[in-house]
Amino acid sequence: MNFLVTLSILASGFVLGLKHAVEADHVAAVSTIVGEHKSLASSSLIGGLWGLGHTISLMIAGVAIVWLHINIGSRMSLALEFCVGVMLIVLGVNALRKLRRNGRIHMHVHHHGGREHAHLHIHQARGDEELHSHHGLKLGAKPVVIGMVHGFAGSAALMLLILSTIQHAMVALAYVLIFGIGSTGGMMIMSALVGLPARLTAKRFSRANLLLRGAAAIFSLSLGLFMTYEIGFRGELFR
């Protein structure tokens, strides 16, 4: 294969990987984790770990397609997409559960000028309680697993179809690797951008920080419900 042709194929893989990282289901899943951390470095690390898991699963699928000639059927692809939807629901519910535990939301009733008013109040738990929940492998394992699930599903499957047009096995696997590197870089940038509001509101605007985390959780939950309904009940997965 011509060197320039090979280089253009690999470059396109990197660009497609960057684009792949910013898809809604990826951002929704990672944002439920990023919002819990208050530094841009840890937010970017989460994106990098997601990319690691994503690339691992892509390489596994790539080897299966290139060397073992295993095809990913349309029904299997739908089932993997459905799993992504279920994962988004679980992440959203888990994020809401953590908000309920770490930030108590309730109503206060006040009397002003003879009239009764109800005001929403949010009390955030002590910071050491939240930090305690992220020791050890919890920070690393969760984003990696999420990345692996995404790597086996979604538009990554479309990327793997390109492998059938590449004649040389090593070039095909290099394409998968470059695609994974591109998606890792894209997700690290997106994680930092998503984590920026949480970083700015972490100390001085704790209420806004909780609201941002709540919005990320609801987004993940809503997108997961939509995906599972569209794929599982309106689609052809369970027919």
At 102 the pLDDT is 64
CA end-to-end span of the chain: 44
Out of 111-120, 158-167, 199-208, 217-226, least confident range = 111-120
Out of 23-37, 45-59, 176-190, 193-207, least confident range = 193-207
Give the pLDDT confidence of 8-19 residue by residue, as tens digits: 888 988 998 898
Per DSSP bridges, beta strands 115-124 and 103-112 are antiparallel
Contacts of 205 (CB under 8 A, 6+ apart): none
Confidence of residue 130 (pLDDT cuts 50, 70, 90): very low
Alpha carbon 93 to chain centroid, angstroms = 15
Residue 135 pLDDT > 60 = no
Side-chain-side CA neighbours of residue 216 (13 Å): 28
Contacts of 42 (CB under 8 A, 6+ apart): 139, 195
Q: Token digits for 151?
A: 């790597």
Q: Which of helix, strand or coil describes residue 124?
A: strand
Determine contact, residues 195/26, Cβ cutoff 8 Å: no
Q: How far is residue 229's CA from residue 233's CA, in Å, rounded to a whole number? A: 5
